[in-house]
Homo-oligomer: A and B are copies of this chain.
Amino acid sequence: MAIVVVNVMPKPEILDPQGKAVTNAGKRLGHEGFSVRQGKRFEIEVGEVTPTVLEEVRHFAETLLANTVIESFEVCS
């Protein structure tokens, strides 16, 4: 079994209210210099990592894991 990771982040031009909330909470706790953006991480267990499987994961991420209008994703194996 192998793990393929898909990272999904809000695109840079998209407001990120979750990240903003975390940034502000950090400020209240004394972490002044941190600016946070929040996204999602998916760990996908696959049989083995082949180019075909990676292509399938890419399709999976595009249709199900990321809303590509507002989010970008990357597949890391």
Contacts and interface: CB of A to CB of B under 8 A. Distances in A.
A17 interface: no
Contact of A44 (B8, B36, B60): B36
Interface size class of A (residues with CB under 8 A): 20 to 34
Contacts of A44: 34-36
Contacts of A47: 33
Given A25-B64, A64-B22, A65-B22, A42 B33 contact: no
A16 to B, nearest CB: 10
Contacts of A45: 34-37
Interface of A: 7-9, 19, 22, 25-26, 29, 31, 33-47, 56-57, 60, 63-65
